[in-house]
Amino acid sequence: MFGLVDCNNFYVSCERVFNAKLEGKPVVVLSNNDGCLIARSNEAKALGLKMGDLAFEKEAFFEKNGVQVFSSNYALYGDMSDRVMKTIAQMVPGMEVYSIDEAFIDFHNMPYEDLEALAQRIRKTVKQYTGIPVSIGIAPTKTLAKVANRYAKKHLPHLGIYQIDSDHDAEKALVNTPVEDIWGVGYKYAKMLNAHHIFNALELTQAKEEWIRQKMHVVGVRMLRELQGEICYQLDNEPTPKKGICVSRSFGHSQRDVKIITEAVATFAARVGEKLRKQKSCAHIVHVFLYTNPHKDEPQYFNSKVLQLPTSTSSTIEIIRYALRGLELIFKPGFNYKKAGVMISGIVPENQVQIGLFDTHKREIDTKAMKALDELNRRMGRDTVKIAVQGFGRDWQLRQERKSRCYTTRWQELLEVEAWG
DNA sequence: TCTGGGGTCCTAGGACCC
DNA sequence: TCTGGGGTCCTAGGACCC
């Protein structure tokens, strides 16, 4: 059996932990640059607010309905996620952290009768230790555990748990799951299935495998079999190193100045370096890209450049140098730029780097410098030490007008409590 | 003023190898 | 007369996930 623990309305729940006034009220969290809705409380969902709704179009609606609005605060959500995951890890034999708010649990070799009781204990403990409410689905495959989890959240909100361990349990959950809510069915496949009169997960399980293979390829066949109770996806205990790492942002305001865009690209390259060193990897392909705003009726320009490095590296200094060389090659003056990014690929473990024959770069010095830089930034806060070309300007930064405090990651922003005696 | 930012896997087709 | 048969690697594009 697999379990799937999923945090309820995770970003909203994080905000509520530190702000009791939000309890029972409609709350939404916005995307970067305060663009659109990416998380909603149940009350906000009940008001008809949808994922992806544009924030500026809903201002009056928010005001009228007392909707509490927050910019996204990833320092807070990431740290709360760590706490939730660590709490779960203490209580189960094995788990796979699947996303910022979800984890699969290994219930292998555990008696079925005990699972629901264990799941209840997990829910209670996570809530007590972190303040975050979770729902748990239990089933013979990952895909069915997802179905069970959704069923628990939708139809048994007070219990918060649903276990599939008979055909009857499975059918009850499957018939209540529209195809678009199945793990692996997105917008396109949902439309296709509906056109063939398949509307819920139970109807999908009755489809012919060859037909599914033809329409949805092997991924679809795996999904079908998982829904029928046959395991196709195992639990992945170890986080696998990423094959590509990308850091990109839309700017708070359009930018025309090459100097400001240079600072932004250098900063993205620095973040790529940090992420690379964190997973103990090096890489040798740097990809830089630059966009104008496609939603605007003005001259458009998009370009990107791929650069090969002579030797794989994780040095921020080197990655920035190549990223900026790429930027120089694609930058054209006279456009209003809205977004840029740096991607890195050709990733290898840091202990398997092939040294270049004609490489003259003093690699040991960089390695030492990066180690010192990472350690200082870890202890003193991000960007305590950075590369000069990243600059000090904030011109390109995100717009985040309604961000809550970093309650758990910055001393200056701890929660304050007033006591009357 | 105004539309997120990361990732994964699979397939098809072309270039190339012997 | 008659046009091989195995492969690999790379890229672009399309589907999906949160």
Over the Cα atoms of chain A, what is R_g?
Answer: 24
pLDDT digits (tens, 9 = 90+) for A390-421: 998 878 888 888 999 999 988 888 888 888 87
Q: How far is the CA of A214 from the C1' of C5 (A)?
A: 27
pLDDT on residue A240: 81
Reported as a pLDDT band with limits 50, 70 and 90, residue A102 is very high
Residue A346, nucleotide of least CA–C1' distance: C10
pLDDT digits (tens, 9 = 90+) for A206-264: 999 999 999 999 999 999 999 999 999 999 888 888 888 999 999 999 999 999 999 99
pLDDT on residue A259: 94
d(C-alpha A314, C-alpha A300), whole Å: 33
Q: Which stretch of DSSP H or E encloses residue A288?
A: strand A281-292
Smallest Cα–Cα separation from A103: which of A74, A76, A135, A79?
A135
For strand C, is any atom closer than 7 Å to the CB of A391? no
8-state DSSP, A389: G
Interface residues 284-303 of A with strand C (CB < 7 Å): none
Interface residues 118-157 of A with strand C (CB < 7 Å): 146
| Closest residue (CA to C1') to nucleotide C17 in the complex | A184
d(C-alpha A145, C-alpha A162), whole Å: 9
Residue A60 · residue A69 · CB < 8 Å = no
pLDDT digits (tens, 9 = 90+) for A136-182: 999 999 999 999 999 999 999 999 999 999 999 999 999 999 999 99
For strand C, is any atom closer than 7 Å to the CB of A194? no
Residue A135 · residue A149 · CB < 8 Å = yes
Q: How far is the CA of A296 from the C1' of C6 (A)?
A: 52
Burial of A93 (0-12, 13-18, 19+ CB in 10 A): exposed
Task: Provide the whole-model pTM.
Answer: 0.93
Write out residues whose CB is closer than 7 A to strand B.
A 31-33, 35-36, 38, 54, 56, 217-219, 240, 242-250, 253-254, 275, 293, 295-296, 339, 341, 343, 398
Alpha helices in A290-337 (DSSP H): 316-330
